[in-house]
Structure 1
């Protein structure tokens, strides 16, 4: 006999992770996903030590390591390829007690989804959840979790109406997957930038890398993804060979154009037996480097609070209280970095102290 029944709206990183952790604790879980299959939106993701902490609790460390790549360095460089700063990831990992891993998003999603199937978690695809559906779910389930993303979260709309729409932050990300250029070492993440332009390349194994080209713009949905790739090729045509190579050899099916939005911090994440997690609750900019990591943390902490409190309202209030300071800090860091990267001012290196970074990323996880 199940103690609680949980419905999860959305089968992204947050939703799948939450379903796994809850099912492992004995809860009955169903997932409701509007797409016909698991999404691979996004080219790749860096799972920093706080994410790997959660994945280790899910028993997925070895699967992640088999499909991903443990990087050794993050290098910041200018448009000429001259180094501005470097972070020793091995030192960061040691401070945190867990590894960092880069992985294609589709591989991460497949690992999570396969785990849900091994736990016999029902995933209802092609199921759009609207206001009326949420009302029906509240009668059938003890808890409904909104993990349905930053842009069009039906769960967030039910709780907040039009008062919580995501905010466009003035730049576009063009992302994709390419063969790894020979000039790019497999153990080094490279971030190139000059005033108003940024290009990141992340190796995921000896053969592949994922990348993101970013610059300030207005929203124009009438232009094709191919047109934005051509913009990227023009913007970065005089930049180092690793960049021009990936922009020439990319897999077109992997390329996406994203007008980057985030959320202002919300005053609460729950109402009655509805609660938001992941990007639906606190979407941050990609400049924070923590989107998927914070989604995984949400799943871990919400499961912990459900275990610690017999009353769901107390559990949801405690979950918000535990998470809001850290997620707000991550959001603010993402905005501050974006403002710096996409200004017209000369670029200064972002100073990254391994101990300070580890203190932030492992905040709230040390004693759980």
Structure 2
């Protein structure tokens, strides 16, 4: 752990970060004009599922989806062809980001259950042809930063000893870091599943994932000076992107409660996800308080009785017209550990609906 901290604090990490920041300014433009844009979520989920099956790194997964986005933006491709394009993007991205021994093999891909359900059999010649087309489309340049390339650098300073949780000193720095990583990873997957986040540069999306995680975990100050210095983003810069992430989180929590909680008739009518003696605050109220600090409150239980961590996948999340249901979990909202939640009495509630459905299970 000490060596890892030294690495992130070193000059090499800073130089890599600066090179990525420079490169992201030259990323290809994305217009969101694909005739198959309504299938985009389905194929992003397909890439996520298969990359998880082979335990590929987040950078490979995010690069694959980004390649798919750019390709769909430039070509009118049939739904059946998009299956081949998606898998070729994943293979190309894994070859660029992963070690050679971790790149999925053709035989293993063809043996996956979802391949037969999609009536798809990959051939070596077909994959080589598609990879060549992709490389020519991107001028043989796969050095395309995504939010996943920035997130670890920002997480290296996301939690520190001086941070407060609801106005109290952290009871466990290591556990707080662990759940910061879980939430940042969750929000990173939220950004992967909606093309609206392509309207922000990747470093800003990564910084917003960290900011949203600190907000959900009730850490204060929400955006400390060290994060502002490292990312070069102020709180005001992050608000538009962070708000979209938090609204998606609210959608997942609401859907999880509908899936997992008993019928309303067996509960108190006004029961909310978090207990609170204070009025419920909306996302907008939280986001526009750059110096957000939590006052100390008496300890009390944080989660409502009967709450079950979400782990679900609505059928509509992965089912596109004329496409088979993949039948796998996509996104799960992390739950706040007892060590972080024992002193919490502030509600987190969002009153805006968002058309985001599938939870991510990692």
Q: Per residue, is there more helix in 1 or in 2?
A: 2
Q: Could you say which structure has the greater relative contact order, defined with CA pairs below 8 angstroms and 6 or more residues apart?
A: 1
Q: Per residue, is there more strand in 1 or in 2?
A: 1
Please say which structure displays the higher CA radius of gyration.
2
TM value normalised by structure 2:
0.28
